[in-house]
Structure 1
């Protein structure tokens, strides 16, 4: 079985590409990125590399040709642009003969009462794929712990106070690396199909639990400043964070996401719409997911990093 990994120029796809060889042979991999420069490292190592830009469907069928299973990593922008990009990728993959699509979705994506704007695109993509003649695995990932760890340390600029509107809602924070690891295993397993899997961290936590873990590890005294959604938007505005992914993102931003996405995500957490907690990660990979405390103890390795946008 030949496996296609999309977005190998990004954090997620790059992790899969550099770790999956313990499960499959190099000659059974096709690595794609939206631009040639994102493939340079892999070309030098002799991988089968191809340009696949989801916004340009004319590039996709040839890029996916010869592949049996596709890891479709959700695009980093939000709204109709992302839905169209995902549709382009799905259509081209099926036309190219791909028989299985592994898609990185979001916890509780199909709940109509989930207010997160992020989940709209994920629900659309799940529905689009499930109505096609193709095997699928939907990985409904919890929130990346790296994003919150970065926010934790960014609170230095505000007197070690983290503004939040997510209240006492629960989230099973998980490392982005563990989400990528789960995707790697789901892609490589030939016996896994027509599955929807929740990929969660080892603990169901409130934000206070998360901050306490950080304080215990770092010795800092970060506090949560519980504010309204309007005040949260204002705080992001002051940081130069755009309201939507159509806005301009600052280089090396501590919040490489749109504030609409983050605030409505926080609302969903506050309403306990993101509180799903399972042990599926361990069942799928055979390993336990990294804990928040472990990630704080190794903080230099668990930052959110730069935004990798492919919306051109």
Structure 2
């Protein structure tokens, strides 16, 4: 059995590979695939097979997937390009005879009105149409999406209102992905994955409690939040996507509960207080 992990040069893919190694998967049965493979030379030194590939290059994907049994398909990061890129991945997996795919998606992808949902839903549909047995891990927001240390000085800003967001650590979600791809059998096709559900005001309160500083959450309209993000240096298109995500989070689009994540982890999710403490350290 060999397992390909795409996005291995990014934070999530790297954590998933480390989780597979901890689960006892032999290093030689893990294929780490990414664009900047110089970042994972240490994995190669530990026996992991490292291969270069790009989601924009179908031939490189076919070469990277050759001989593999399973694919942990970490979604791309280039919003607006992912539908075409992900179809390249699905086609290469089919050509390579991959027998199982686990894909990192977005909460409630089939009903979400978030701009980000469209590409994830298109990918889920492409996987279903491929006929390859697939599992969709619909990951809510990482704690790492928020600048916890920066918030001590500047507070949080957003447009999520009183919406509960199921914030989880990236490590928990990567460990769940490793568990899903390593399993021989799995009882669900769709997992809605997230940690403790909190509002951004509650997140600010937790950072205040642990830092000993007053940390505020400033709630803005989506339009004002997009303007704020552009003001701190984000491109307009990306700022609009983030503001749209918060707008939909206010309506519950990023709330999942913890049940599915705990099922894959085989333990409780990392408490938000512990995650914040680690982020502040």
Q: What TM-score do the two structures reach when normalised by structure 1?
A: 0.85
Deviation sequence 1:108-132 (CA, Å, 0-9, x none): 1110xx3311111111101110111
Summarize deviations over 1:192-228 as a string: whole Å, max 9, x none: 2761011110x22111111111111111111122221
Alignment of 1:82-231 (within 5 A): 82-111=82-111, 114-148=112-146, 150=147, 152-155=148-151, 160-192=154-186, 195-201=189-195, 203-231=196-224
Contact residue 174 and residue 289 of structure 1 kept, 8 A: yes
Contact 2:155 2:204 in 1 (8 A): no
Give a deviation string over 1:64-105, Cα, whole Å, max 9, x none: 0111110110111111x1111111011001101101110000
Q: When you count helix as a share of all residues, which structure comes out higher? A: 2
Aligned to 1:42: 43
* Cα displacement (A) at 1:163: 2.2
RMSD: 1.6
Structure 2 CA distance, aligned partners of 1:162 and 1:15? 27
Where do 5+ consecutive residues of structure 1 fail to align?
245-257, 302-312
Aligned to 1:69: 70
- Distance in 1 (CA, whole Å) between partners of 2:20 and 2:144 is 22
Paired residues of 1:33 and 1:39 also in contact (CA < 8 A): no
> Is 1:274 aligned to residue 267 of structure 2?
no
Partner of 2:278: 298
TM-aligned CA distance change 1:19 to 1:274, over 3 Å? closer
Q: For 2:21 and 2:150, locate their aligned partners in 1 and report how far apart those are by CA, in whole Å.
A: 36
5+ residue gaps, structure 2, are: none
Deviation string, structure 1 residues 6-59 (Cα, Å, up to 9, x no partner) = 111110011111231232122221111123423422222232111121111111
Q: Does the CA contact (< 8 Å) of 1:101 and 1:137 recur in 2?
A: yes
**Which 4+ stretches in 1 moved above 6 angstroms?**
none
Distance 2:74 2:95 in 1: 19
TM-score by length of 2: 0.94
8 Å Cα contact 1:117-1:260 kept in structure 2: no
Once structures 1 and 2 are overlaid, which stretch shifts more, 34-43 or 208-217? 34-43
Matched pairs, number: 280
C-alpha distance in structure 1 between counterparts of 2:64 and 2:18, whole Å: 20
Whole-angstrom CA distance in 2 between matches of 1:285 and 1:156? 31
The DSSP-based 3-state class of the residue aligned with 2:113 is coil
